[in-house]
Amino acid sequence: MYRWQAKKALQALVLILLCSLVSIPVVSVEQPKTPLAQGKAMTLKLCQACHEFKGASQAGTVGPPFIQMSQRFPQRDRIRAIIYDPQKAIKPHTMMPPFGRHGFLDKKDIELVIDFLYTL
């Protein structure tokens, strides 16, 4: 197997594993009430496997840490594009799933996630 084929196979496996985590139903006693709490809950559910950030119970090391997000991404459009479809916004073969394009998050949910990320 060529090196690039092995890399593609590994990326596909990671994506499958991440998608399987997203589809596991989470039982919660109470839904978050504030928009910021909703954004935090979605970020914890979808992002902590790959990204390290304050409040995450498992620190991922695949993606960059979520620190100083409003300074790193002063234009909300840039981070919105990355969350919606990172293959188009960052690079074609990134391992990050396209949360918006694949329907994991709608536009409102992406805005809630960005609101939370800007607190980090």
Helix (H) or strand (E) segment spanning residue 84: helix 76-84
The number of distinct structural domains making up the chain is 1
Q: How much is the CA Rg of the chain, to the nearest whole Å?
A: 15
Distance separating alpha carbons of residues 62 and 53, to the nearest angstrom: 12
Name the percent of the chain lying above pLDDT 70: 73
CATH of the domain at 90: 1.10.760.10
In a domain, 91, yes or no: yes
In a domain, 23, yes or no: no
What pLDDT does 91 receive? Answer: 86
Q: Domain containing 81: what range?
A: 33-117
What pLDDT does 100 receive? Answer: 92
Each residue's pLDDT tens digit, 61-114: 888 889 999 999 999 999 999 999 999 998 888 889 999 999 999 999 999 999
First-residue to last-residue Cα distance in the chain: 42
Q: What letter does residue 20 receive in the DSSP assignment? A: H
In a domain, 13, yes or no: no
